Structure 1
Amino acid sequence: MREWLASWRFLISRRWLSFFLAVIVLGIGTWWLGEWQFGRLDDKRERNAVIEANAHEDPVPVTDVLAPGTPVADGEEYTVVEATGTYAVDDTLIVRYRTRDSAPGVQVVVPLVLADGTALVVDRGWLAFDGPTDEARDAAPEPPAGEVTITGWVRVDGEGDSTEVSDGGMRAISSTAVGEALDLEVYGGFVELLSEDPAPAESLDPPEEPDTGEGPHFFYGLQWWFFGVLALGGFGYLAWDERKHGPRGSRVRSPRAGH
């Protein structure tokens, strides 16, 4: 037994202890990354459950779901809402850099002013366009004039610098940023348009169906855990190899045949 223990004494050398600590750090890192990927998978599944529960139900009044200055509640995204008002065409905004099938384009956003003077931020749809923001505004088809009833999906506001409104455009939609830029009292969140009554003379491309795929997170999580197991297995193999054959740098190489 003593001889067997003595054969492993090299593991308490500085070189092997440092190697072991590096493997432990690597193992913890790969475990955490795997957990992160599985966490993203859980988030995706929760979002998919919300979409499947809401996206194809009958419309409900917008006031049942949204309120001025209030963020979209958990579980309400992709609820189909209905609202009646008048489009503030002069306040049209452009969401830049929105491609579809590799084609350049923009989203056209127009506030819908309701009877009480509050406004609902409406993404009316996608326009194939490659040019300056002011030209995109001019190229966008006009919405119906006068009172119009819309239905659409509730969407959560974007965040960060991309929501800043400048020169009539932005890169992501935030009702807060739109309200501040246009000096309007707006409902929290925004609506992706599904229908308008009366219908416009020319329509924009409607929103794409929400993605309910789970993505590659499950396999990415397994891969990270596999890397951690591989690192531990590699440490064990190298330790066994050195115990059996001695340090690699001090091994005597066999002479080549014929020399």
Structure 2
Amino acid sequence: MFEQKLEALKGIFAQMDRAIIAYSGGIDSTLVAKVAYDVLSDRALAITAESPSLLPEDLEDAKIQALQIGIPHQVIQTHEMENPNYTSNPINRCYFCKSELHDTLKPLALSLGYPYVVDGVNADDLKDYRPGIQAAKERGARSPLAEVGITKMEVREISKFLGLPWWDKPAQPCLSSRFPYGEEITIAKLQRVGRAELYLRKLGWQNLRVRSTGDTAKIELLPEQIKEFVLTTDLPQLVSAFQKFGFIYVTLDLEGYRSGKLNQVLNQDLMMSNMDRMLSI
């Protein structure tokens, strides 16, 4: 089934003369970069936005993956942290993040002679509250994965089919997603969350989040890993490490990791209204 969608994805790029890929290094945008390069060769350009909400280690991963694919790759700076509409962390925070990104990418694309900017939004993303999608569409960006109906699972299947070694890479959205809506985001807070998650990754835990509320860190792991984590982790040492990062309290979420968990506080009608707007753009 996904083979037909892969051909349709290639067909979209075959209709483009040149394209810039908004490339975070995540599995979605990396698949888009791979297919774009396979079709367009050096007429495809991957661009990664560097900001405090991106771990330096994830930026290095993005560089390595682009090199393996062969696609030309550039890193630009974005400045969403200078926008109080972003740092105040409203429920549509992602709108201001993607606005900054695409307000930077669009003029750059035009100046370099690239008529298209594409991103890694997939079909499943349209089912969640993602105000950043609206911002991208307003600025003319296209989402080839969503256009041909490729789901998150199919992104992994296609990536594996194409021989991409990172096909099972855990999702890693920007660090600002670790804070409950309404809590101010600062560079210091982003850095302590990033260091905490990197600490856990180095212990061997990959599918995880460290949510931050005030001075409290809440660790989310896959539900089936919670017992093993408690039994095998040196908890006093972990608490000490987190306190050195700047947290005072360290807790473990007994429900476990679930993507988009912070959105459960949102009004369902608001989420449905937002999704209707995204689908109509």
Band the TM-score falls in, shorter-chain normalisation:
under 0.3
Larger Rg: 1
> Which structure has more RCO (C-alpha within 8 Å, separation ≥ 6)?
1
Q: TM-score, normalised by structure 1?
A: 0.26
Q: TM-score, normalised by structure 2?
A: 0.24
The structure richer in strand per residue is: 1
